[in-house]
Structure 1
């Protein structure tokens, strides 16, 4: 039978592990497959000249009745490209692998123990080639419904699985939820503060329930009932792994409700790998994990992200300052606004999920990480799980993770730009530059020539950084990348015959994007200190080849008479001359062996003298801003708005005077206190615990003031603060924005240190002075003002 795989977990039955595969069959019935055949194992790496038979006897003696060692298999495998003899040790209970690992490592014949830290369910996915969010064929025996599981039927796996290339997705049931919590005393605490509203959204409809008093037991019972009756395959929230789920779980304990809302009866959600909350049999997806990777939105509140993606505009929904939610619940006249606010959050979460999840499904399909984990995991871990799948099929051992300090190395080339406004600028982009360098020069830790290793000059590629890589055999990373890039070409070829409105086109488009993301992340992975296949020398060699490639391309462009404006990592900015650009592309591909194409064309492009800082107007009229305050999160919204508007006026209308008049008007509004406080908030992340800060920057001072008033603030939180009137250091005047009244705000600070500097980044180039922006005709205004 064919099944669409949602998730894989396991449980113990009679002291033996059983793999649980939560799935849909071809008739879209929700089913469970049990595979009782799979057993946990790890590899023992022998020291040079170790006595193999003696070691096998010692390993046998370690066997314990609770989880006996059931087999010892001698194998030849590769570790970082070198052939090794290993013993595959198989036991029964997955948790016992860790205990055996520590005992085995102490044996004198043992050099290392490998692959003992791979989770059992992921081990099964890797070894069987199973793809979450994909189809597989199993030989099964139907067991029928079982009381322990909320599925239509249960099967026992007799043979398989065999992954299938079927690009049709069944219709999954998705449910979004959002909770609102009583927060009169600052940060709500589940042992004290009740949930006051819950909203649920599915297929465009939304329902909610408000508690009538501070006993929220009925609310949680309603949530559980709705979850079980609706029986979603995918549950989505926004920041739900960090807030909504943990709060619901703790609060349900307080009021005495067992929150077993999954498909395994009696099991409540728990926090699993990468901080995601696991709901048995359902894919719990936190949309915030996707939003974190949306570079363009700096303060990633739900309403900001929904507004940016146009799924729900801010001016079309109720907005309640978070610290005032309790007031809307306490006031019967305002409760309906609270209900609508809660429903808008659930509905916008659902609509964002519809945008984001198709991409997540394809990343899950490629990496093997189930959908509820794939975006919660960092980019490095996503690449690593993909590489583990490659390692299994190529007989490579997975290295252990080693704790390392970050080691810096020389990065990509970034040229100083030609400052000013330029018209008709083409951006030429090398296609997958770093992956293609890794392929061309066979870069990898397994082909790196180590100090003292003898090689013939014609057997190696030598990087500009001095590192050498053997030409044969193909590097592990090369095999991985060639597979990915060929897959992307195949997918894009298939897409050519399909309409963009075709569901298959959309599925394939998300898959090719996921392939591109994984391929491009290989280079960064090599220099990631947590990587199992870490290789700083490899990363440094790749950037050195990249620098050489860009410099050669610039030289060719100039030889053809093209004016080069800027160069950054894998891109060239040139004044667009169609014929010359086509010749440049042809010459680069022929002489340097790398593909380069036009990525975008700007009608107008403005550069200061600073690197990685420019703004342009694209052919379709969109404004593209890189590196200015307008796209940074640590400036107030008013400064960002001013800068974006100046850029728009200067680029679209070419009228500097009009831009000055606009800035004058904003400054006057600030002086009159007419700018909303929300636009004056400066957001900064706490990178450390408060007690680790030696100095006290403004956001730390604001965080401490919030804590004094009962709010919980911890490492990793974004702190929003405003500057109030007074004297002394800035920190002494930085207050949490929700504790401040409008009349307390120091509007002169925002004029002098936010709006003016942001405006001058652009207008200073055109000879505009700060005095003129403030509407002063002479230079005496400072003294008069005092």
Structure 2
């Protein structure tokens, strides 16, 4: 019997066996198999004979075994109940067996039936893709034993090799058709998305060359925009249209019609979307995969709620708790009216708007996960009557391990230089876990949560509100003003308070509340803003300021938006810099405010002169759906149509449903013809200097009002006609006329 160690690259189910791919330390990819027989549980209606029913079910030609077993019917039950455990001969006959048993008429409840086969296999085996394993296998490479090797606190992700590529499609239509539109090129990119190699030419040559390149490089990961749902499907369709059998995997394909499990279209390689690879990073995808106990391809595409559902199913299975169907009846029923009165959500204290000096943000560290653990809040512990503390909660136990893991990487990243490779890996890991842990709170009362309990969700909110009130009271008792509070953070201020003073305050709050809280940001100057949509209302999570280390920090302003041109972002940052170039609040309010206004006037004149390079005025917006599904000709939609009509490709492979970025400038925003209002950035040449000066002045004034509006600055004060910044403001203005 041979032994082998390496990282589990991927796993899939092929009817009666699981196929595993192990990546060894020396770079080999080894294929293993493991027998697989799916199973499920049923609970009978009252008065049905369990033994007789098990005998009848066992006679089904695709049922290997059916016997009476004992399991916990829910996370709340402390006593096992009798159910029938049914084992089927393979995944292909699984649904047929379920359909046949439906006809028996005496089955009341079904358990473990609507999880994926690969989930069922990995849950039982107890290992996850990306984990390092030591395996024993026989001569036929059939798995006999697998042991997880502890690499749980490794910083570097497994040594999987990527190949990043994108398709270029030759098409004259808004949405390319894989049956008609050929692939013009396949571009291979490096990790920085720079072009490494471009395979261009006749489609058959391009497909053949790409296939050869994949086999030569032998990557573990194939990464492309919307890789599984779009790119690979398009690629496979074009192979078939050309009468070619694609050979992109580590197993030879003999036909187009080979059965492939969902989520694993290329045997021996993992298909990942480019967006998730860039957003989460390799280390982040590893964390998602290990948390959910599913292959990387699925983990990278699933929303946090589904990842949490998968983990809960695994934890239930290993505790002998049955897995109910999705959208099962709630644990406790309530009316909408009762829910409204019962759950008030998180607490938000309206901000004291305007300029403030020497402000600190105290932030609870992972507040909601810590509440679950400390207060034993879980699906089975929270009832309409209160919380049961007699037994550790299912949800708290699940959360605790991954909260500790997240905090480990959050603290470890401080050991490495910022933006170093090791720092990025730690950041990717802790960010991926943070996203999941934050969603556990919201998912606890969700209607698609198998174990969901709306009282659990409401209890978390209730506890969080109480904790925030206590934190506010401690701050005030110690002589601090509370300027703003938002769910898990408090903005406090006291004249002449030092960083040490704020840290002492945080320590006192932590001691009294028993939950970790720390000084997150220390501002020299801070401006809390009103709502952009309705200036009469204070805004939440909308502020900007200068930290004591000299850096600018902002939330909810134009600098945070992706659809503002570089010129205006640079203007806003420079304007903030001028405003805060002072030692005291009085200097900001008087001398620096006037300097900032003067700078606004200069930039308005520069925009009016037409001297701003058009390249710095480019606005970027994403197409979020097929181009022909848009009813309104919004600026970016008009620009995209102009690009296609002029024969230009949309970035991302000439396909709007890849969410490509559309770059454009305003040339006449008030023109009655939508196609005359904007110009695609790709159509700008060296001789083009025209842009809509009034539109960009209007946008510049919007930015200036964000930064200086707390002092009363408006465009009207400079002689410009006021335009509504939102629908709410427009309605209010019309109301005043009547």
Instruction: Settle same-fold status: TM greater than 0.5.
Output: yes
Aligned pairs for 1:96-175 (under 5 A) are 96-143=93-140, 155-158=141-144, 160-166=145-151, 171-175=159-163
Which residue of 511, 528, 532 maps to 2:450? 532
Residues 263, 280 of structure 1: 8 Å contact kept: yes
Shift of 1:245: 3.1
Q: Does 1:596 align with 2:585?
A: no
Q: Does 1:768 align with 2:720?
A: no
Going from structure 1 to structure 2, the CA distance change for 1:248 and 1:773 (only over 3 Å counts) comes to farther
Shift of 1:370: 1.9
Q: TM (normalized to structure 2)? A: 0.80
Shift of 1:68: 3.1
Shift of 1:223: 0.8
Shift of 1:419: 1.9
Shift of 1:446: 1.6
User: Which residue is equivalent to 1:178?
Assistant: 166
Cα deviation code 1:456-484 (max 9, x no counterpart): xxxxxxxxxxx622222222101212233
Aligned pairs for 1:301-340 (under 5 A) are none
Compare 239-248 and 605-614 and name the one that shifted more: 239-248
Which residue of 610, 614, 622 maps to 1:676? 614
Structure 2 residue ranges without an equivalent (≥5): 331-335, 531-538, 583-587, 648-653, 722-738
User: Which residue is equivalent to 1:346?
Assistant: none
| Structure 1: distance between partners of 2:169 and 2:486 | 47
Q: Does 1:384 align with 2:320?
A: no
User: Which residue is equivalent to 2:13?
Assistant: 10
| Structure 2: distance between partners of 1:11 and 1:719 | 42
Equivalenced residue count is 672
Shift of 1:271: 12
User: Which residue is equivalent to 2:29?
Assistant: 30
| Structure 2: distance between partners of 1:76 and 1:554 | 47
Structure 1 residue ranges without an equivalent (≥5): 144-154, 294-355, 451-466, 777-786
Q: Does 1:208 align with 2:197?
A: yes
Shift of 1:595: 1.4
| Structure 2: distance between partners of 1:761 and 1:397 | 54
Cα deviation code 1:292-347 (max 9, x no counterpart): 67xxxxxxxxxxxxxxxxxxxxxxxxxxxxxxxxxxxxxxxxxxxxxxxxxxxxxx
| Structure 2: distance between partners of 1:617 and 1:502 | 26
Compare 704-713 and 80-89 and name the one that shifted more: 704-713
Residues 507, 518 of structure 2: 8 Å contact kept: no
| Structure 2: distance between partners of 1:482 and 1:423 | 38
Residues 175, 657 of structure 2: 8 Å contact kept: no
| Structure 1: distance between partners of 2:74 and 2:516 | 33
User: Which residue is equivalent to 1:353?
Assistant: none
Q: TM (normalized to structure 1)? A: 0.75
Which residue of 73, 81, 102 maps to 2:76? 81
| Structure 1: distance between partners of 2:581 and 2:252 | 61
Residues 625, 657 of structure 2: 8 Å contact kept: no
Residues 162, 222 of structure 2: 8 Å contact kept: yes
For the aligned residues, what is the CA RMSD?
4.0
Shift of 1:398: 2.1
User: Which residue is equivalent to 2:697?
Assistant: 751
Aligned pairs for 1:450-599 (under 5 A) are 450=384, 468-488=386-406, 511-575=429-493, 576-578=497-499, 580-599=501-520
Shift of 1:775: 8.4
Cα deviation code 1:38-59 (max 9, x no counterpart): 2101111233454322432442
Residues 646, 762 of structure 1: 8 Å contact kept: yes
Going from structure 1 to structure 2, the CA distance change for 1:258 and 1:140 (only over 3 Å counts) comes to same
Residues 249, 269 of structure 1: 8 Å contact kept: no
Which residue of 51, 58, 61 maps to 1:60? 58
Residues 234, 283 of structure 1: 8 Å contact kept: yes
Going from structure 1 to structure 2, the CA distance change for 1:725 and 1:703 (only over 3 Å counts) comes to closer
SS in 2 for 1:760: helix
| Structure 1: distance between partners of 2:630 and 2:634 | 15
User: Which residue is equivalent to 1:698?
Assistant: 634
Shift of 1:558: 0.6
Shift of 1:430: 0.8
Which residue of 401, 419, 424 maps to 2:326? 401
Shift of 1:572: 0.9
Residues 133, 149 of structure 2: 8 Å contact kept: yes
User: Which residue is equivalent to 1:427?
Assistant: 361
